[in-house]
Structure 1
Amino acid sequence: MDDVFKAINDPSRRLLLDALFEADGQSLGELADRLPQMTRYGVMNHLRILEEANLVTTLKQGRSKFHYLNPVPIRLIHDRWISKYAEPRVGAIAGIKAHLEQGGARMSKPVHIYKAYINAAQEAVWDAIVNGDQTVQYFYGTRVESDWEVGSPIVYYQGDGSIAADGEIISIDAPKRLEYTFQARWDPELVAEGPSREVWAVAEVNGMCELTVELYDVAPDSKTYDDFVNGFPYIVSGMKSLLETGKGLPPPY
């Protein structure tokens, strides 16, 4: 975690994180406008340090590069120290507001990207995504079921057998990539807002795995957006804990 503390020790880098907290998916030019006293090269250097600390992740589309705040390392710090002393309900990182406009079609750019590096084999990470015996230990106690074929349903069941969420498999390339729609069922307001779309990608990097979760098709300032952005750091961190220690995280509330 030394690289995380080093990265946030600089006030200019904290300002860049604040800018991404306010509006995710910004370009270098947009972020450079937040630091007018600094050259673009200086801003690029600060972003590189934040990216190396895994506090910022990027997405390239053509010649454009967009930057996203990655709250997972902050969540891990929370779980290591803060959660021992804070109130029980302090479990999820505060909501990250974005200013992306969805429109009627599917988004080509994700609303948010979550990334974690896990000391486990690619097959083990994939199994944690598709195996209900695994998801029940980190995905808020829900058990996933599907035949994992394109066009097939995917369902997350609560412990009492009720459906927490469901959707449809859009594409699958085991053990590398899974894309599906996700309709939350635990709140009528979430049902009314319609499904989101998730992409889970697993890549082997230097003897470990890079897990990336991209969230699409979520309207800004919606309840769905708030619930998912607040909840996903716990899910990703819980999977990492499960695979590296054999134990998931305690319930966040």
Structure 2
Amino acid sequence: MVEAGAKPQAFAEKQIYRVVINAPIETVWNTLVKTDEALPFFFGAHCKTTGERLAPGQPYAMRTPNGKFTSVVGKVLEFSPPNRYSHTLQFTLHDDPACVVSYELKEVTEGTEFSLITENVPVGTKMEKSMAQGTDFILKNIKSVAETGKATFSSQLMLGMMSLMTPLMPKQCRSENWPLEN
């Protein structure tokens, strides 16, 4: 319901970001869905879930390596190895509503076409700005990790700086505020 005089929330059209990764589709898929180590392309976060692996209907949280802070929460919508993974996404730092993020992988001559698709991102929000800035980082680094086993050098430097800043994260991002529940 929209309050009188308030503008209804507008949502961005579907955005599709692509990169071709010189690696087999299984390598790219396994890199994307790891839940047992930090994911440099997701800003050094660990993907945590309630099951042994990601599955439709399960909640997930992107947490700092020490588990004390959570940056993103959501629910898995689709998990179809090795071609499609879709989930809701809400930043814990912002009060914006959740959007939908999907990853589509397709075998091509050069390796794997990796598509990151965003839908229903609220227009004019901090989420929209964060997502626009983060997609390039994600694409460059999943490509680098799948092809070489490590993030780009500039990203490694940035991730090192981010780990030093972890103690300064706002209280609202503490993991106890974002429990994983089915």
User: How many residue pairs were aligned?
Assistant: 144
1:24 aligns to what? none
2:178 aligns to what? none
1:241 aligns to what? 144
1:26-62 superposed Cα distances (whole Å, 9 cap, x missing partner)? xxxxxxxxxxxxxxxxxxxxxxxxxxxxxxxxxxxxx
Matched residue type, 2:29: W
Deviation, 1:236, is 1.2
Larger RCO of the pair (alpha carbons < 8 Å, separation 6+): 2
- Give the TM-score of the pair, scaled to structure 1: 0.53
2:54 to 148, 152, 171: 148
Aligned-partner SS, 2:42 = coil
Matched residue type, 1:229: A
1:31 aligns to what? none
CA contact (8 A) 2:38 2:65 kept: no
CA contact (8 A) 2:20 2:110 kept: no
Gaps of 5+ in 2: 1-9, 162-182
Between Structure 1 and Structure 2, which shows a larger proportion of helix residues? Answer: 1
Q: Does 1:130 align with 2:130?
A: no
Superposed structure 1 runs of 4+ greater than 3 Å apart = 132-135
Q: Aligned equivalents of 1:169 and 1:204: distance in 2?
A: 23
1:158-214 superposed Cα distances (whole Å, 9 cap, x missing partner)? 1231222111011111110011101111x2xx2x11111101001001140000010
1:28 aligns to what? none
Matched residue type, 2:71: A
Superposed, which structure 2 residues align to 1:17-28 within 5 Å? none
CA contact (8 A) 1:128 1:134 kept: no
Aligned-partner SS, 2:40 = coil
Deviation, 1:139, is 1.2
Superposed, which structure 2 residues align to 1:31-42 within 5 Å? none
CA contact (8 A) 1:129 1:135 kept: no
Deviation, 1:220, is 1.4
- Give the TM-score of the pair, scaled to structure 2: 0.72
User: What value does the CA root-mean-square deviation take over the aligned residues?
Assistant: 2.0
1:11 aligns to what? none
2:73 aligns to what? 166
Q: Aligned equivalents of 2:86 and 2:41: distance in 1?
A: 19
Gaps of 5+ in 1: 1-100
Q: Aligned equivalents of 2:38 and 2:20: distance in 1?
A: 18
Q: Aligned equivalents of 1:242 and 1:150: distance in 2?
A: 25
Q: Aligned equivalents of 2:71 and 2:105: distance in 1?
A: 25
Instruction: Give the greater-gyration-radius structure (CA).
Output: 1
- Paired-residue identity, %: 23
2:90 aligns to what? 183
1:220 aligns to what? 123
Deviation, 1:219, is 1.4
Q: Aligned equivalents of 1:134 and 1:212: distance in 2?
A: 22
Aligned-partner SS, 2:103 = strand
Matched residue type, 2:98: P
1:55 aligns to what? none
Deviation, 1:132, is 3.2
Matched residue type, 2:130: D
CA contact (8 A) 1:142 1:158 kept: yes
